[in-house]
Amino acid sequence: MSEQREAGPVRTTCPYCGVGCGVRAAGGPEGAAVQGDRRHPANAGRLCSKGAALADTLDDRGRLLRPVVAGQETDWDTALDAVADGLRTVIDRHGPEAVALYCSGQLLTEDYYVANKLVKGYLGTANIDTNSRLCMASAVAGHKRAFGADAVPGAYADAEEADLVVLAGSNAAWTHPVWFQRLQAARKANPAMQVVVIDPRRTATCELADRHLALAPGTDAVLWNGLLVHPAESDAFEADFLRGHTGGVEEALRAARASAPSISAVAEACGLSAAEVAAFYAAFAANERTVTAFSQGVNQSERGTDQVSAILNVHLATGRIGRPGAGPFSLTGQPNAMGGREVGGLANQLAAHMELTPDAVDRLARFWETEAVADEPGPKAVELFDRIAEGRIKAVWIMATNPAVSLPDADRVRAALGDCELVVVSDCVARTDTTATADILLPAAAWGEKDGTVTNSERCISRQRPFRAPPGEARPDWWIMSRVARRLGFGRGFPYESPAAVFREHAALSGFENHGARPFDISALAGLSDAEYDALEPVQWPVNAANPRGTARLFSDGVFATADGRARLVPVEAERPAGAGSDGSLVLNTGRVRDQWHTMTRTGDVARLSEHSPEPYAALHPEDAAALGLADGALARLANDRGEVLARVRVDVGQRPGSVFVPFHWSGPFAARGRVDALVAPRLDAVSGQPASKHATVLPEPFAAAWEGLLLSRRPVELDGVPYWAAARRIACWDYRLAGGEAPADWAAWRRERLGAQGDWLELRDPGAGRYRAACLVDGRLEAVLFAGPGAQAADRAWLSGLFEQAWLDPGQRNALLAGRLEEGAGTGPAVCACFGVDAAQIREAVCSGAVDAEAVGERLGAGTNCGSCLAEVRELVRTSLAEETA
């Protein structure tokens, strides 16, 4: 199965965000090469910083290479037997409700289909849920309430054709960068286009915005309710569409009027000015071609489903749906968030978009030829882990997700896994917070090795094709699960020898007794030969007899997937906004940075992706920072009754007063106390079960660091016991930032313990001032550098880390080493442009010497001219530098 495939390049799909860009990739022993695929409809050749750096993720460093059972590496037969025996034993003793699978939108559709079939079709329980619960569940629930099916109506091109694009709770410049670049280009071509961003904080996405509504956290539904009332009064309602194609208008309007009686009431509830609200409503009324793209700022809330409904209500009421340039558009996060929904990966759904109704259970039982189809919904992610903590679920198999970092109340999740009888983890990397809790570890094939399909935000199914052999014993997830299923005695249901066979069955099921009832219908693909499957071009579902070439837009005929064909407006009641605590605590807003992916397992080890944000940070408004005694660049301790996080303070006028933003990427292998989900309370949306990951509360305070340190080392260093550390990858070394409350009595002893005593050590001690500097060379090559002492350790990190790329240091460099080259102190800041390694200081300098716009900066420094992910930041820097110059 692992035959070498090194002829290239193959056309495949990026494994990161839901934009789903096409990639041309080739891999050989000398390294891989990755480019954008010009023929892919999502990106037409573009890639963002993460996609452009994909080749750097393929060197097998840190990979899980062999199955591990009870701490011992073993072969597949032993490991698969151990998984099957373990599951069987628990089921025999406690019944099927005592086992569960927890999956992920990073599985391929074929993997996901097998997982769902195994649990819901053969184990006879619906104990399978996925990280999509933390991501898309509110959008799914909102779609189902409004359209009768979980279907995204529109396509990417709609935003390009729109006159008004509203980005609600989306930082697309960083999270859906290529779609955002398409929007930027469209905006340039159509100067009349308006862009509105709704987000409590000012983000890179706001750079494109004509209007930024920095609303109070959790108040989105009031804003949209007001917008439902407003067109009713300004005649923007589409009376014919409403009459002919919808239901529930009166009830929805009544609820909206109660929650948003006037513009000034909306303004007050949302913490905006009445003028801002009125201007937004007027722009909405004036532009029929409106696209509202929404993401986690809307979904990840205790009122997520209602917030989605409030958006959909407005689009339905104005008939702005199913038409070119108009529609609500849920931006999906993961590469296969959509595929997971199609196969029924969520605990409250069956395969092929079927609900858990008696009819559907019967249909599936006949199609799968099994009698065990689950007929009750299973626990949703947070509840599933509650059951593990309570000991009701005794065996869990976790696949392609890192719940010990990404679930709310993450310390409790980690502890629950620690106490669970049987934890099986399938992952591609060896060391994660979740693999650390596993009894059995299964090495999964990763991107570049895997073979199957994914579905992006616009319902486009694309192939992920392999172009390299899996290292070690790694195997695809569908293969692993099928082999376990066979051992459990379900061989007849899992005869698969290729992903194509799984896909054909999935496609056939989507059409099975469908008769137009379920929009998700790809039955035209059920007969693909292996060769046709290999050659499958990107195609948007439905793909059936009526639409053999796919479908760009759903509901164009005004017929929805409800029993009567009408869409439903849903009443959204007045709401209680997420407030900060009365003790001075702040709303904890969490999310993403531009160049990292989730818990950093795949991007944290890539030098060019680590410069933009090299350590965990907490961004807060100057007023809050001052009130809390937090200085820019100092360390903060953020704590509540669940846990604590240490992060670097960024004072930022773009933050909304009363809130603090912390990225959720930093995990155990990359920082001492960086897991922000340890602070997030498991408050769930009552309908979707999605946690309010953006609205926790926390009280930040200064972290009294008696010393800080800079440590660069060619090899990873064990830093257990150091109160604060964070690791960033450089080209030839690891770059650690350290700090502690009490300085070690003897720094030389400290460094011997951590870094060993071998090699030639240069040392500089100043015991009086508590300063220590040391560097280690082996055969003239730099191995480690340590600077420690009170306060920030100023040194030219870029220069120092560059020395690790040299085979040996010349005497001048050795002499300069312990000075840290402060005299030349370029003092490089974090990189803005990851592709060319250009930082803010260089950009400011370019402006001082005459560059007047981002294009001119690009000509001089290259910044922004490759993937374009940093253009928003470059423009912002040019703007502020020009403003400073003229001030």
Ligand X SMILES: Nc1nc2c(c(=O)[nH]1)N[C@H]1C(S)=C(S)[C@@H](COP(=O)(O)OP(=O)(O)OC[C@H]3O[C@@H](n4cnc5c(=O)[nH]c(N)nc54)[C@H](O)[C@@H]3O)O[C@H]1N2
Site for ligand X in 280-339 (CB under 6 A): 295-298, 300, 333-334
| 134/719 with CB nearer Mo ion | 134
**Selected range binding ligand SF4 among 43-51, 305-313, 701-709, 770-778, rule: CB under 6 A:** 43-51
Q: Which CB sits closer to Mo ion, 333 or 339? A: 333
Q: Which two tokens stand for residue 684?
A: 């769930």
CB < 8 Å & 24+ apart, contacts of 547-553: 548/524, 550/460, 551/459, 552/155, 552/157, 553/153, 553/154, 553/155, 553/158, 553/322, 553/323, 553/324, 553/327
Widest distance between CA atoms in the chain:
83
Q: Pattern of binders to ligand X over 593-612, x per CB under 6 A?
A: -x-xxxx-xx----------
Partner whose binding site includes residue 876, from Mo ion, ligand SF4, ligand X, none (CB under 5 to 8 Å by kind): none
**3 state DSSP class of 844:** helix
- Is 785 a binding residue for ligand SF4 by CB under 6 A? The answer is no
Distances (CA, A) of 245 to 44, 316, 318, 449, 554: 36, 9, 12, 46, 14
* Residues 449-468: x where in contact with ligand X by CB under 6 A, - otherwise, as a string: -x------------------
- Is the CB of 208 or the CB of 630 nearer to ligand SF4? 208
Which one-letter DSSP state was computed for residue 191?
A: T
Helix (H, G, I), strand (E, B) or coil at 873: helix
- Residue 460 makes contact with ligand SF4 by CB under 6 A: no
CA 33 distance to own-chain centroid: 24
Residue 869 in the binding site for ligand X (CB under 6 A): no
One-letter identity of residue 675: R
Q: Which is nearer to ligand X, 544 or 655 (CB)?
A: 655
Residue 596 or residue 881: which is nearer to ligand X going by CB? Answer: 596
* By the rule CB under 6 A, 598 interacts with ligand SF4: no
Per the CB < 8 A criterion, the answer to whether 863 and 870 are in contact is yes
Output DSSP code: residue 120: I
Q: How many CB atoms lie within 10 A of CB 284?
A: 23
Rounded Cα distance between 630 and 642, Å, is 22
Partner in contact with 524, chosen from ligand X, Mo ion, ligand SF4, none, beta carbon below 5 to 8 Å by kind: none
- 251 vs 776: CA distance, rounded Å: 73
Q: Which is nearer to ligand X, 427 or 458 (CB)?
A: 427
**Binding residue for ligand X, selected from 140, 352, 561, 680, defined by CB under 6 A:** 680
Identified binder of ligand X from the candidate list 451, 677, 708, 796, rule CB under 6 A: 677
How open is the CA angle 586-587-589, to the nearest 5 degrees? 130
**Closer to ligand SF4 by Cβ: residue 101 or 331:** 331
List all residues 6 or more positions away from 71 whose beta carbon is below 8 Å from its beta carbon. Answer: none
Quick one: DSSP state of residue 416?
A: H
Q: How far is the CB of 335 from ligand SF4 (least distance, A)?
A: 7
Tell me 650's DSSP state. E
d(CA 712, CA 517): 60
Of residues 10, 11, 20, 333, which one binds ligand SF4 by CB under 6 A?
20
Binding-site size for Mo ion (CB under 5 A) equals: 2
Q: How many CB atoms lie within 10 A of CB 95?
A: 11
Residue 20 lies near Mo ion (rule: CB under 5 A):
no
In the shown chain, the binding pattern of residues 133 to 162 toward Mo ion, with x for contact by CB under 5 A and - for none, equals --x---------------------------
- d(CA 377, CA 307) in angstroms, rounded, equals 24
Q: Tell which one of 17, 79, 352, 570 touches ligand SF4 (CB under 6 A).
A: 17
CB 209, min distance to Mo ion, A? 23
| 482 belongs to the binding site for ligand X (CB under 6 A) | no
In order, the DSSP letters of 628-639 are HT--TTSEEEEE
Q: Taking the complex as a whole, how short is the minimal distance between the CB of residue 558 and ligand X, in angstroms?
A: 29
Nearer to ligand SF4, 12 or 406 (CB): 12
CB of 21 to ligand SF4, least distance (A): 3
Give which of 263, 281, 292 is closest to 195, Cα–Cα: 292
Nearer to ligand SF4, 21 or 570 (CB): 21
Binding partner selected for residue 19 from Mo ion, ligand X, ligand SF4, none, CB under the kind-specific 5 to 8 Å limit: ligand SF4
Per partner kind, with CB cut-offs from 5 to 8 A, the member of Mo ion, ligand SF4, ligand X, none near residue 14 is ligand SF4
854 near ligand SF4, rule: CB under 6 A: no
- Is 881 one of the binding residues for ligand X (CB under 6 A)? no
CB of residue 762 to Mo ion, shortest distance in Å: 47
Helix (H) or strand (E) holding 36: strand 31-36
Residue nearest to ligand SF4 (CB): 51
Cβ atoms 368, 152 nearer than 8 A: no
Cis peptide before 723 (omega within 30 of 0): no
**Structure tokens that stand for 477 in this block:** 């997830």
Instruction: Output 134 or 847, the one with its CB closest to ligand X.
Output: 134
- One residue of 19, 227, 586, 636 binding ligand SF4 per CB under 6 A: 19
Considering the complex, what minimum distance in angstroms separates the CB of residue 428 from ligand X? Answer: 5
Contact 174, 592 (CB under 8 A): yes
Our finding on whether 25 is near ligand SF4 (CB under 6 A) is no
Strand-pairing partners, residue 526, are none
Judged by CB, which is closer to Mo ion: 333, or 709?
333
Give the number of C-alpha atoms closer than 13 A to the C-alpha of residue 221, restricted to the C-beta side: 29
Judge whether 19 and 179 are in contact, CB under 8 Å.
Answer: yes
Question: Contacting Mo ion (CB under 5 A), which of 226, 333, 499, 654?
Answer: 333
Q: Do 271 and 217 contact (CB within 8 A), yes or no?
A: no
Q: What is the rounded distance in angstroms from the CA atom of residue 314 to the CA atom of residue 308?
A: 10
Indicate whether 109 belongs to the interface with ligand X (CB under 6 A): no
Mapping DSSP to helix (H, G, I), strand (E, B) and coil, where does residue 781 land? strand
Of 378-407, binders to ligand X (CB under 6 A) are: 399-403, 405-406
Binding string to ligand X for residues 131 to 150, with x set by CB under 6 A, is what?
x--xx---------------
Report the residue number whose CB is nearest to Mo ion: 333
Spatial neighbors of 278 by CB under 8 A, at least 6 apart, are: 263
Taking the mean position of all CA atoms in its chain, how far away is CA 169?
A: 14
- CA dist list (Å): 401 to 308, 338, 426, 521, 664: 25, 16, 9, 28, 14
Nearest residue (CB) to ligand X, 13 versus 296: 296
Among 116, 203, 309, 881, interactor with ligand X by CB under 6 A: 203
Q: Which is nearer to ligand SF4, 465 or 642 (CB)?
A: 465
Closest CA to 872 of 293, 187, 203: 203
Write down the least CB distance from residue 454 to ligand SF4, Å: 10
Residue 628 contacts residue 855 (beta carbons within 8 Å): no
Tell me which of ligand SF4, ligand X, Mo ion, none is bound by residue 462, counting a contact when its beta carbon lies within the kind-specific cut-off of 5 to 8 angstroms. Answer: none
Residue 501 exposed, middle or buried by CB count within 10 Å (0-12, 13-18, 19+): middle
437 part of the interface to ligand X, by CB under 6 A: no
How distant, in Å, are the alpha carbons of 274, 289, 293, 358 from that of 165?
21, 9, 7, 41
Per CB under 6 A, contacts with ligand SF4 among 125-184 are 177-178
Closest contact distance (angstroms) between CB of 595 and ligand X is 6
Residues binding Mo ion (CB under 5 A): 135, 333
Residues binding ligand X (CB under 6 A): 17, 104, 106, 131, 134-135, 168-172, 174-175, 198-201, 203, 217-218, 220, 295-298, 300, 333-334, 399-403, 405-406, 426-429, 432, 444, 446, 450, 477, 589-592, 594, 596-599, 601-602, 664, 676-677, 680, 693-694
Residues binding ligand SF4 (CB under 6 A): 14, 16-17, 19-21, 43, 47-48, 50-51, 177-178
